[in-house]
Amino acid sequence: MPSVMSILIWGGMFNTEFGAINQLLGTNIAWFQSVTFARVAVIVVNLWLGFPYFYLVSSGALQAIPSELNEAAAIDGATPRQIFSKITLPLLLRILSPLLIASFAFNFNNFNLIYLLTGGGPKSTLDGDIAGATDILISYTYQIAFGSFTQDLGLASAISVVIFLLVASISLYGIRKSKVLESFV
């Protein structure tokens, strides 16, 4: 529920006439009528929603890395750049790999953001396609199933299965490549 409220508040802040962002910038940008500005708005809101979680997990992961490793490397003559690239970053990536994989799967299916902020638009009615400039596969599937005059539930179901297979295979590849589950086997 908090993310839904945040998205709706951001939608109001991007309002062309009364939005806080346009008032701050001193202009009248039509955020949801322009393809470029609509995509920028989606990226800004997605970053806003995801940053606290990433920050919390990343700071916890950094604190979990023993400081003795960095001290030993510094005593051995390693530069701060070498300490970061050879010790801190590999340990951090090992801890954060599941988070990165889960965030990929979440963002791939981030229906709430698209539906509540832009509705998938702006849409070009000249092309005859129902996909908008900010649609992702899951919101496009929703439009196919429920949003058009010719509701095609079979096609929407098939696309949903393909989305699942795509996200599952990329996630499994990422898990195997990161060797996160190696310690559990």
Mean pLDDT (whole number) for 150-164: 92
pLDDT at residue 134 in the model: 92
Mean pLDDT (whole number) for 58-83: 93
* CB 108 within 8 Å of CB 139: no
Looking at the chain, which runs of residues are DSSP E strands? none
Instruction: Please state, as a whole number, how many other Cβ atoms lie within 10 Å of the Cβ of residue 76.
Output: 9
pTM: predicted TM-score of the whole model, two decimal places: 0.83
* CB 31 within 8 Å of CB 136: no
* CB 71 within 8 Å of CB 78: no
Q: Token pair for residue 161? A: 């299965």
Pick from 37, 148, 56: nearest CA to 103? 56
Q: How far is CA 128 from the centre of its chain?
A: 28
105: number of CA atoms within 13 Å, CB side?
17
Class of domain 2-184: mainly alpha
* CB 88 within 8 Å of CB 80: no
Instruction: Please state, as a whole number, how many other Cβ atoms lie within 10 Å of the Cβ of residue 31.
Output: 24
User: What's the mean pLDDT when you consider all of the chain?
Assistant: 89
**Is pLDDT above 80 for 144?**
yes
For residue 116, which amino acid is it?
L
